[in-house]
């Protein structure tokens, strides 16, 4: 065993290397943000080269032999808890990266690039046959990838751990199965309900004596500037820190950045400003997590987020437990009416934000409740594809059968069915479950936040968001990736990850709304 | 000597390395653009780390031993002209980089960072004493840097070659001395002239019967939106390719990018829209050069620009020989009047764009003619500082004496004198001459363009810019850095670099305008 001074020197060299690795990764994220938000279309060929060069350098730094040697030396060193956590996280990434041959990394990257136009054409032509070989190739490549990392384990488990390393595929499977079992009957009851929730935009259009001036065009749509001002007002209301962020538009909204600069993007549907509000608050939630990471740990796992389930818990907390809550609309209705020229009540906005559309076919347009059936379906299909229990050619049929079983609706086309998402085209197999796990965790955190802080509804109604931000920062953000996921949940809530709170929350909320 | 196949393999490996080097450099430029144009203020600490990491990786790739070995192997290889040029350019950069110890690179980088707030305070306090030690340190560091590259040559020559490697300090010195000798009498004659050139903004403000609606605020200023639309119209008029570029604002306007994505920034002075028009056309000129580089050579010196004098020749050509020309204002006056609500004639805008203000103290606000006296002064001072012929403490006095000698005006303060530019604070000593060399080359190219293309004035008046773009691309842009500077000038014009055309051009133009 090395002396303390030697250990300490090794650790410092190791940590400096880790920081460089993170800085290069974050530089790549800036290039991606620019590409999606600012870059003129003609810039693509050069940007592809630049991004690829940074990816290569990042991979070289991560698989560096010297890094492996430092990790070996630190194996027996006398490290404190924080140092142990840093070594654990870096070792995991290093070991996964060195096990995957670089030619396989390149083949996957190339296959993704080639798959994109094929998927786009298949979707435009509504012809799954055009995409089948491409999907088959991606499934094979991902199986090869999983086998390279660990040939002795379930390949889907290995892929899932790319996005959520510590919660365990068993937990994911158990939670998703339970949601399927409990939500399908709830959705059935809602479908059978006679209640029709309010649509404030209908109200305003038909109510000629409405107090405010309707801001819609003659075609009944809202322009981008009006919607931009509305969602900017929502971010102001929630306390977004503009000295450390920006709001822009992008075709597919996302959030990216560091604890110094966490940016949000949104998009506007002309006839549905509620969509932009919800989507913006979702991305704001991601940004709050990033901004809550400790600045002094920037570039290390202690200053980096835990994985996708936790990140999604923050976006879903703000989107659903705040942005879709009645107290939020008590607070925000006047602002919304002012910007939209509507004359709606808080109750009407609240109902509009929570209307269940079980006949909706498209995941990204789904409501808070039926969303998870879209995820369960994708999870079951991609798991079976990777495990070899489902053939690619059978995907459209299985998709449509599951849609009918879970939501009572069957897509007429593959474009509105199994071709709707980009994830598999990108090779992101194992990613979908983290969306639902994030929602489940959001409800668990929400429960304990209320237990600890007290009258959260009152705080939201008064626009006092600091105690909420503070609780989430104290219990989640500031830890970075110090804890494994379940340990983080335990540190924040005193108990293991559980779907109990989520199921109680949706049951109570939606049975109340739909009187069923 | 290696066999052709081996040589060819070596060259391919070498070239792939060179491309990676360029891609990383260009990724760094994207980060810098973002920092100056988009980044929220709080992002600085993380961006500094990201940019520094990319700089380090770029330096590592450039000084790589393997690159040195390839260069040695290619020394005796049987390469074609283009390959020889690539090897020459990379060898030059590699050799300069390996000669400078990395601790010196770091000390210079650190000294620049530390110097910035000192310079800002000294400028705000108007106290050169506060800045003197910092400037002394930077001069010493730059002397050390020059000695590391070549201890046997004039250190100022070595520094100048950082920005303009092939034109030679003798040429620069000869040209600048000649300009001083010939321009000072011309400026004197203009100062003695009774002619007062038109100010279309005065005309409009006093002319209550003007045809258009004045777009100025009650304070007589133009808002940013109005000016943005005006300069956007100027870029449309000149043929800027928006699929490969953007226009944004930045505190210090610049242009950056690649042949796929060359962006322009500008800024707006509320009371002077002509400043924004000139500045935007200047940066557009830089962008045309970048966009004219061959796409298929992206990432190699054949797809990269020749150095700063040539780059500046393109910006100055468009700014001065087009944007300050009478035919341009014949073309653009209606658009300008429409945007500004003025009712000026082309002659009035032309005069406004060319008014000489010899009493102006600030370089970046100088007119086309007196600008060069600001450069001559800086060149003489920085050269003498580096050569040890001038003490730092004497800079303010020498500055003021030269201002009086060359322009007949003496700054009251150092803030408006030797503290006005950021260049020395950044360690950019040897950079200033390239501004004037670029103007000189612009006039030489303009002369030969007219000889080859014919009625350039008619083309500009008709808004037919394609033949002008084509000539510049054919004769300058498409060569990238294939030729050394003087060879490029010779290829484009059939003769060596010369100041004759510039001196004829300004003499004729300004004696005509000022009737002297």
Establish if B251 touches chain A: CB-CB under 8 angstroms.
no
Give residue B212's region: left, alpha or beta (phi > 0; psi -120 to 50).
beta
Cα(A302)–Cα(A305) distance, integer angstroms:
8
CB proximity B56 to A under 8 Å: yes
Q: Which residues of B touch A38 (CB under 8 A)?
A: 38, 246
Residue matched to tokens 């897509």: A411
Predicted pLDDT of residue A462 = 98
Residues 6+ apart with CB under 8 A from B385: B139, B392, B395, B429
What is the DSSP-derived secondary structure letter of residue A262? E
Q: Does B50 touch chain A (CB under 8 A)?
A: yes
Q: Closest approach of chain B CAs to the CA of A11, in angstroms? A: 19
Specify whether A283 is catalytic.
Answer: yes
Give the H/E segment covering residue A173: helix A169-192
Give the mean pLDDT of chain A. 95
Q: Residue B247 and residue B240: Cα distance in Å, rounded?
A: 10
Sorting pLDDT into bands at 50, 70 and 90, what band is B209?
A: very low
- C-alpha angle B373-B375-B378 in degrees, rounded to nearest 5: 110
Distance (Å) from the alpha carbon of B479 to chain A's nearest alpha carbon: 19
The 10 Å CB-count burial string (b at 16+, else e) for B141-152 is bbbebbbbbeee
User: What is the number of H-type helices and E-type strands within chain A?
Assistant: 21, 3
**pLDDT level of residue A5 (50, 70, 90 thresholds):** confident
Residues near A30 by beta carbon (within 8 Å), at least 6 away in sequence: B30, B31, B34, B50
β-pairing, A261-266 with A255-258? antiparallel
Using a pLDDT cut of 90, give the percent of chain B over it: 92
Domain A195-357+434-476 falls in which CATH fold?
A: 1.10.1370
pLDDT tens, residue by residue, B17-53: 999 999 999 999 999 999 999 999 999 999 999 999 9
Region A163-191 average pLDDT: 97
Protein fold of B154-516: 1.10.1370
Residue B212 has pLDDT above 60, yes or no: no
| CB atoms near residue A411 (< 10 Å) | 18
Contact B53 A27 (CB under 8 A): yes
Between the two ends of chain A, the Cα-to-Cα distance in Å is 66
Q: CB contact, 8 Å: B240 with chain A?
A: no
Q: How far is CA B339 from CA B198, B215, B264, in A?
A: 19, 7, 20
- The residue of B43, B44, B54 whose CB has the most chain A CBs within 10 angstroms, and thus the best one to mutate to test that interface, is B43
* Structure-token pair, residue B457: 């004035």
Average pLDDT, chain B: 95
Chain A residue with CA closest to B27: the answer is: A50
Does residue A466 surpass a pLDDT of 50? yes
Q: What is the Cβ-side half-sphere exposure of residue A295, based on CA atoms within 13 angstroms?
A: 11
Express each pLDDT in B382-393 by its tens digit: 999 999 999 999
Catalytic choice (B283, B351, B368, B382): B283
Q: Where are the alpha helices (DSSP H) in A40-101?
A: 44-63, 65-75, 81-99
What span, in angstroms and rounded, lies between the C-alpha atoms of B364 and A17?
42
Mapping DSSP onto H, E and C, the string for B203-256 reads: HHHHCCCCCCCCCCCCCCCCCHHHHHHHHHHHHHHHCCCHHHCCEEECCCCCEE
3-state secondary structure B20-33: HHHHHHHHHHHHHH
Q: How far is A23 from chain B (nearest CA, A)?
A: 5
Rounded average pLDDT over B474-497 = 98
pLDDT of A144 over the 50 cut: yes
B384 alpha-carbon distance from chain centroid = 23
Q: What is the average pLDDT across A476-502?
A: 98
Q: What percent of chain A has pLDDT over 70?
A: 97
The rounded percent of chain B whose pLDDT value lies above 70 is 97
* Per-residue pLDDT, A212: 54
Instruction: Write the pLDDT tens digit of every residue in A230-274.
Output: 999 999 999 999 999 999 999 889 999 999 999 999 999 999 999
pLDDT at B202: 76
**Tens of pLDDT along B266-282?**
999 999 999 999 999 99
CA distances from B150 to B98, B99, B388 (A): 12, 8, 17
Residue A502 has a CB neighbour count (10 Å cut-off) of 27
Per annotation, catalytic residue among A162, A283, A351, A382: A283
Q: Does A66 touch chain B (CB under 8 A)?
A: no
**Is the CB of residue B52 less than 8 Å from the CB of residue B112?**
no
Q: Is A208 a residue whose pLDDT tops 70?
A: no
- Residues in chain A closer than 8 A to B299 (CB atoms): 49
Q: Is the pLDDT of residue A209 over 50?
A: no
Q: Tell me, what's the pLDDT at B189? A: 97
* Contact between A42 and B295 using a beta-carbon 8 Å cutoff: no
d(CA B242, nearest CA chain A) in Å: 7
Residue B420 burial by CB count (10 A; 0-12/13-18/19+): exposed, middle or buried?
buried
Distance from CA of A242 to the nearest CA of B (A): 7
Model pLDDT, residue A4:
77
pLDDT surpassing 90 at residue B256: yes
Give yes or no for B298 touching A (CB within 8 A): yes
3-state percent helix, strand, coil for chain A, nearest multiple of 5: 70, 5, 30
Q: Which of A32, A38, A257 to mutate to test the interface with B (most CBs of B within 10 A)?
A: A38
Burial class (CB in 10 A: 0-12, 13-18, 19+), A469: middle
Residues of A in contact with B53 (CB under 8 A): 20, 23-24, 27
Give me the pLDDT at residue B3, please: 57
pTM over 0.90: yes
Per-residue pLDDT at A497: 98
Positive or negative torsion for Cα B234, B238, B241, B246: negative
Across the interface, which of B23, B46, B298 has its CB nearest the CB of A298? B46
At B219, is the pLDDT very low, low, confident or very high (cuts 50, 70, 90)?
Answer: confident
Q: Are A354 and A338 in contact (CB under 8 A)?
A: no
Of B49, B246, B259, the CB nearest to A299: B49
Nearest to A52 by CA among A22, A72, A31, A83: A31
d(Cα B366, Cα A454) in Å, to the nearest integer?
A: 64
> By mean pLDDT, which of A188-197, A441-450, B217-226, B355-364 is the weakest?
B217-226
Q: Do B299 and A24 touch (CB under 8 A)?
A: no
Q: Is the pLDDT of residue A206 over 50?
A: no
The pLDDT assigned to B113 comes to 87
**Rounded mean pLDDT of A416-445?**
96
- With a pLDDT cut of 90, the percent of chain A lying above it is 92
pLDDT for position A215:
79
Domain chopping of chain B, boundaries: 4-153, 154-516
Residue of B nearest to A245 (CA): B40
Predicted pLDDT at A69: 97
Query: Among A262, A284, A317, which Cα is nearest to A468's?
Result: A317
Q: Is the pLDDT of residue B206 over 70?
A: no
Is A254 within 8 Å of chain B by CB?
no
Minimum CA–CA partner of B45 in chain A: A260
pLDDT at A1 over 60: no
């Amino acid at each position: 065993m090395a002396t303390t001074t030697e250990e300490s020197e090794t650790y410092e060299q190791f940590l400096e290397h880790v920081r460089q690795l993170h800085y290069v990764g974050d530089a790549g994220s800036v290039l991606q943000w620019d590409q999606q938000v600012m870059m003129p279309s003609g810039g693509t060929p050069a940007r592809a080269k630049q991004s690829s060069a940074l990816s290569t350098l990042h991979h070289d730094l991560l698989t560096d032999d010297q890094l492996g040697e430092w990790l070996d030396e630190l194996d027996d060193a006398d490290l404190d808890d924080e140092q142990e956590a840093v070594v654990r996280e870096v070792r995991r990434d290093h070991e996964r990266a060195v096990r995957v041959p670089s030619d396989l990394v390149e083949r996957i990257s190339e296959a993704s690039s080639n798959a994109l136009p094929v998927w786009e054409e298949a979707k435009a032509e509504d012809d799954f046959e055009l995409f089948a070989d491409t999907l088959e190739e991606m499934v094979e490549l991902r199986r090869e990838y999983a086998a390279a990392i660990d040939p002795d384990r379930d390949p889907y488990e290995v892929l899932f751990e790319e996005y959520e390393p510590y919660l365990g595929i068993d937990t994911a499977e158990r939670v998703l199965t339970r949601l399927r079992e409990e939500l399908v009957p709830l959705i059935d009851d809602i479908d059978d309900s006679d209640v029709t929730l309010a649509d404030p935009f209908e109200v305003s259009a038909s109510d000629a004596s409405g107090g405010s001036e309707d801001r819609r065009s003659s075609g009944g749509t809202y322009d981008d500037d009006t919607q931009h001002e509305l969602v900017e007002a929502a971010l102001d209301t929630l306390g977004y820190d503009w000295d450390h962020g920006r709001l822009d538009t992008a075709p597919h909204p996302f959030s990216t950045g560091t604890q110094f600069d966490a940016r949000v993007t949104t998009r506007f549907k002309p006839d549905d400003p509620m969509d932009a509000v919800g989507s913006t608050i979702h991305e704001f939630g991601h940004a709050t997590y990033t901004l809550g990471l400790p600045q002094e740990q920037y570039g290390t796992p202690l200053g980096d987020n835990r994985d996708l389930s936790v990140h999604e818990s923050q976006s879903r907390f703000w989107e659903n437990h705040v942005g879709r809550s009645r107290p939020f609309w008590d607070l925000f209705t006047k602002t919304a009416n002012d910007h939209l020229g509507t004359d709606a009540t808080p109750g009407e906005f609240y109902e509009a934000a929570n209307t269940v559309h079980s006949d909706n076919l498209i995941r990204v347009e789904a409501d808070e409740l039926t969303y998870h059936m879209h995820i369960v379906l994708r999870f079951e299909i991609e798991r079976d594809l990777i495990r070899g229990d489902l053939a690619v050619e059978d995907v459209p049929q299985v998709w449509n059968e599951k849609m009918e079983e879970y939501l009572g609706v069957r897509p007429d086309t593959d474009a509105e069915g199994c071709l709707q998402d980009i994830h598999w085209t990108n090779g992101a197999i194992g990613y979908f479950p983290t969306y639902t796990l994030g929602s489940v965790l959001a409800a668990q955190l929400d429960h304990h936040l209320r237990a600890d802080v007290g009258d959260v509804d009152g705080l939201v109604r008064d626009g006092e968001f600091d105690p909420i931000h503070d609780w989430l920062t104290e219990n989640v953000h500031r830890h970075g990736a110090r804890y494994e996921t379940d340990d983080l949940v335990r540190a924040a809530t005193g108990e293991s990850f559980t779907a109990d709170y989520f199921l109680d929350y949706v049951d109570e909320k939606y049975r109340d709304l739909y009187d069923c």
